[in-house]
Every structure is written in C-alpha cells, then in structure tokens.
Amino acid sequence: MGHFIPLAELAKRLVLHHGFSATFITFSDFFSPAQDAFLNSLPPGLSSFLLPPVPLDDLPADVQIETRLCHIVARSVPRLRDILATLKATTPLAGYVIDVFGGDTLCIAKELGVPHCMYCTTNFTALSLLFYLPTLHRNTLCEYRDLPEPVILPGCAPIRGDDLLHPMQDRNNEAYAWLLHIAERSREPEGILVNSFVEMEPVASKTLMENEPGRPLVYPVGPLIRSGSNDGEEKCSECLEWLDRQPTGSVLFVSFGSGGTLSMEQLREVAFGLEMSGTRFLWVVRCPSDKEAGGAFFGDKSADDPLNYFPEGFLERTEGSALVLRFWAPQVEVLSHSSTGGFLSHGGWNSTLESVVHGVPMIVWPLYAEQRMNAVMLSETMKVAMRPEVGKDRVVRREEISRVVKELMEGEGGRAARERMAELREAAAKALTEEGSSYKALAEVAGKWKAGIAV
Ligand code: UDP
C-alpha cells in the first residue's frame, strides 16, 4: 500500500488538476481487498489495469519482499509491453511514470518513444542514498552496520550503518544485489518526482534539485497522501464514533503500517507498555510473527484472531480508554480526528506524511524498508518524533514504551514536537497551493508532457 496509494494519488492529481487521463497499472501479486476498494473509488478519467500474476515458484520460500518485487517487475515486462503498445495505438501517450521498483520496464517507454519519469514514493534522503549507493558499495568492504563512522549522504544528516535501508543490512542477500540494480537504474529516467516537500527536507531537496550532469532533474510534488476513504463503512464508523467520545488530543494511535507485524514477545510488551502509560489508545493489531525479534513485514498471513495473543485480562483492564481494531483502520480519518494527539508508527513514509499533514507528533518505531532512515530524520533532524530505545535483545521493553508514550502525550518533549509538527503542517499545506513549490513542480512536469517534451 505504501507504493500503491501515492502512485494512485499522483495519477489522480494529473487527472483532476492537469487535464490528463491516466491508466494505473499494477500487479495482481500482493493484491488485497484494501487495494481493490481503492481502485473502485478512482475518479472518472482514471482507469486501472491489473497485470496477470507471474510464476515465482523457482524463488526460495523465504525470499525477501524486495527480491520478489524485482522478479515480478522483470517477468512482467512482455505483458506490459503489449499493454503499452496497445494503448499507444489508440491514445497519444504523454508520459510513462514508474515506481522505484519499475526501472526494468523503462526500456518499453524508450522503445515506444514515450517521455518517462520515476515517482519516488518516499523521500529525498532515500533518493540521495539510491544515487550514492553504487559509490558507497565500491568504497565499502565490510557490512554497512559494522562501519565505525556514520555514512554521509549528499545533503543528509549522518546515518549509522544499521539505520540504512533494510536490504543493505546483509550484503550477501539477493535483495541487496537487486537494490544495487535499482540504484544503478535510478539515473536512467528523464526526471524524478519525489513525494516530499522542500520544508520537510530543506538541505537534501536543495542538493538533489541542483542540476548535475548524468542525473535526472528532480521535482518535489508532495505531500501526496490518500484522499477519500477506502475503508469498510462499518469499521470506519465504529472507530470514528469511539474517537468522538474521547477528549481532544487525548488518544495515541498505534499502527505499524499496511504489513508490519511484531514478534509475540514484542506484541505483549507493547500491550503492557500502553497499559502502564495510562494513555488512551487506538491500536491496529495483527497476529505476531516470530521471524525477527523486533518485527517483520507482511508476516501476518494467518486467519487467526490477533486478540488471542494479548496478555490475559488486557482488554478488560483497558476497556473504556482503549479501542483495538483487527488488521486495518481508516488511518487518514483517525489522524485527522481532533481526539488523536499522537501516533506510534513504524515510520513508513505515507504514514509520516499523513501525520505531518494533520499535525500529529509521532513515536517512530521502524521495522523495515527505509523506515530507520525516516526515524533518524524525524527524531534527530526534524525533531517531530520520539524514538524508543531498543534493548540488546532487540525488544523494546514495556517501561521504555510507557516512558516514551507519556513523554509524547504529556511531557515537555511531546509539547515541543507538537509545535514543530504544527509548523510543518502549515508548510505542507502551502506547498500544495497553486503558489506552492510542490504544485508548481508538478505543473511544470505536466506542461512539458503537454508540449511533448522530456521532463
Ligand atoms: N493504512 C491504513 N490503515 C491501516 C494501515 C495502513 O489506511 O490500518 C494505510 C496508511 O494510511 C498508509 C499506507 O496504508 O497510507 C501505509 O503506507 P506506509 O508507507 O506508511 O507504510 P507501509 O505499509 O508501506 O509499510
């Protein structure tokens, strides 16, 4: 969902604000009811197409998500070529926009002579890493997590090796080889749109937006967050009615993204920690995964009830001051509700932008992908989030959870983070007005496509 939603939102903007029609092409692998509901709510002028599944039985069962995605993309090229060629035969194609994982499909746009660009659904910091990774790879012999000094990416705050992208944590894993491949391809598109805005990453955006030979032009177009509800009415109204009954700014929203799961032990520590904090909370819970001590992703494939994993008596003891939702919540609606005062999040970029747009300060608890880098940015550079300390056994203990929750909701640190979030919220709204930097950047791209030129 972290790629699907911002790509669809970009397509919506191009249709609603810039007069294009758009075809949104996605995969049937990973397709979920939430995605289905989202596709069914697309506005007129925006159609969608599901690529057929590709065989993946030759891949090992425990292959990382990034490796799977890259194989799906590479194996979908022939089918995608047919679709684009058919589209082009009937419609003048103004532009072809790929996801960061879509580099292997750029050859099709080049063959057909269609202007093309990449949409980086995350931020300038991650893009800076992609541009710099081939150099970093050549200059580093050890695992990045063993580097004695933090890595300095152009335009970014220093990042410790173990806070770099998840697939960079094991250089022998196939996922790392694919990441390098993606990084090498990242200079090939004619332009790159980024779902961030100048005030969010002032130095990184300035650095990457400077013209540099051999690097595509970079345009900030964010924050593009989900507009409109795509969630089941019933679930949505149950949770919003509960929020209506809570005092303003009193509820901590707890969610680890569209696929994040915690280990059994960690899930129980979160439950005890939330209870100890005495804070009101709304928690989206999934069944635990025991793959990794701290957390995993897309681990919850079970039909089991996640409530079975709570400590005994937890639901009874927290009744009245807590609401627990299984698997999914209407996140944007929750974050925009006046009772929500804090967000304990895995720091996925969409969740981060949604929190920024609604001015909700965060506790950032990274699990996978580029979330540890986001956590550094949010807690150390922007100072709009707190980051709990992880124990040596990679578990965050209940006392630490309770401490950080109380600090966010009632402490001085939380007050300061809330103030800075309010400033960022204002800057985000301004960036998207017709005079704002992100609106103008997308308008420039749209103008170039209308004139039939590369971005
Ligand atoms: N989301 C939601 N309800 C949930 C969990 C996630 O609506 O219970 C949405 C969330 O609002 C965000 C997206 O799914 O738009 C998750 O994207 P993000 O980049 O934060 O994390 P990812 O799931 O990709 O790790």
Q: What are the tens digits of pLDDT across the range 340-357?
A: 999 999 999 999 999 999
What is the model's pLDDT at position 311?
95
Write the CB contacts of 431 (distance below 8 Å, at least 6 apart in sequence): 197, 198, 199, 220, 222, 223, 437, 438, 439
pLDDT at residue 81, as a whole number: 96
Half-sphere exposure of 305 (CA within 13 A, CB side): 4
Residue of the CA atom closest to atom 2 of ligand 1:
331
Q: What is the pLDDT of residue 11?
A: 95
Distance 54 CA to ligand 1 centre (A): 25
Confirm whether 3 is a catalytic residue: yes
Name the nearest CA neighbour of 376 among 142, 188, 129: 129
Q: Tens digits of per-residue pLDDT, 185-207?
A: 999 999 999 999 999 999 999 99
pLDDT at 213 over 70: yes
230 lines ligand 1 (CB under 6 A): no
257 pocket-lining for ligand 1 (C-beta < 6 Å)? yes
Range with the poorest average pLDDT among 231-245, 283-297, 361-375, 419-433: 283-297
Nearest-atom number in ligand 1 for the CA of 332 is: 11
Measured CA to CA, the distance from residue 105 to residue 326 in angstroms comes to 37
Q: CA-CA distance, 295 to 207, in Å (whole number)?
A: 33
Per-residue confidence (pLDDT) for residue 165, from 0 to 100: 95
- Cα 394 to Cα 161, 370, 390: the distances in Å are 16, 18, 6
The predicted pLDDT at position 293 comes to 44
Amino acid at 384: V
* CA end-to-end distance (rounded Å), the chain: 27
Structure tokens given for 424: 């960022």
pLDDT above 70 (res 301): no
| Closest atom of ligand 1 relative to the 6 alpha carbon | 15
Do the Cβ atoms of 352 and 374 come closer than 8 Å?
Answer: yes
Nearest to 286 by CA among 259, 311, 319: 259
Instruction: Kindly tell me if the per-residue pLDDT of 46 is higher than 50.
Output: yes
Q: How confident is the model at residue 34 (pLDDT cuts 50, 70, 90)?
A: confident
- Cβ–ligand 1 distance for 348 under 6 Å, the answer yes
Confidence of residue 233 (pLDDT cuts 50, 70, 90): low
What are the residues facing 26 on neighbouring strands? 50
How far is residue 344 CA from its own chain's centroid? Answer: 15
Return d(Cα 314, Cα 417) in angstroms, integer: 30
The verdict on whether 166 is a catalytic residue reads no
Pocket test for ligand 1, best of 351, 353, 354, 358 (most atoms within 8 A of CB): 351
- Work out the burial of residue 312: count CB atoms within 10 Å of its CB; fewer than 13 is exposed, 13-18 middle, 19 or more buried: exposed
**CA Rg, the chain, in Å?**
22
Q: What's phi and psi for 271, nearest 5 deg?
A: -60, -50
List pLDDT tens digits, range 134-177.
999 999 999 999 999 999 999 999 999 999 999 999 999 999 99
Does ligand 1 lie within 6 Å of residue 284's CB atom?
Answer: yes
Q: Is the CB of 329 under 6 A from ligand 1?
A: yes
Range of lowest pLDDT (96-100, 305-309, 332-336): 305-309
Does residue 103's CB lie within 6 angstroms of at least one atom of ligand 1? no
Q: CB-hemisphere CA count at 13 Å for 226?
A: 28
Euclidean distance between CA atoms 16 and 228, whole angstroms: 14
What angle in degrees, to the nearest 10, is found between the helix axes of 437-450 and 412-431? 30
What 3-state class would DSSP assign to 306? helix
Q: What is the structure's pLDDT at 383?
A: 97
User: What is the 351 CA–ligand 1 centroid distance (Å)?
Assistant: 6
Q: Does the pLDDT of residue 227 top 90, yes or no?
A: no
**Does the pLDDT at position 375 exceed 70?**
yes
Structure-block tokens of residue 115: 């202007």
Tell me the DSSP string of 338-402. Answer: TTEEEEEE---HHHHHHHHHTT--EEE---STTHHHHHHIIIIIS--EE-PPPPTTS---HHHHH
**Residue 263 backbone phi and psi in degrees, to 5:** -70, 165
pTM of the model: 0.94
Residues in contact with 448: Cβ distance below 8 Å, sequence separation at least 6, in sequence order: 115, 454, 455
Given this model, what pLDDT does residue 298 score?
A: 53
User: Among positive and negative, which fits the CA dihedral 135, 137, 142, 148?
Assistant: positive
Contact 387, 379 (CB under 8 A): yes
Q: Which of 29, 82, 99, 231 is catalytic?
A: 99
* Rounded distance from Cα 17 to ligand 1 centre (Å): 25
367 lines ligand 1 (CB under 6 A): no
Residues of the chain with pLDDT > 70, as a percent, come to: 95
- What are residue 323's DSSP bridge partners? 282
**Average pLDDT of the chain to the nearest whole number:** 93
What pLDDT score was predicted for residue 195?
A: 98
Residue 123 has a pLDDT of 97
What DSSP assignment string belongs to 105-132?
Answer: GHHHHHHHT--EEEEESS-HHHHHHHHH
Handedness of CA 296, 300, 304, 306 (dihedral sign): positive
Listed ranges 258-262, 292-296, 303-307, 449-453; the one with the highest mean pLDDT:
449-453
The yes-or-no verdict on residue 235 having pLDDT over 80 is no
Cβ count near 250 (within 10 Å): 17
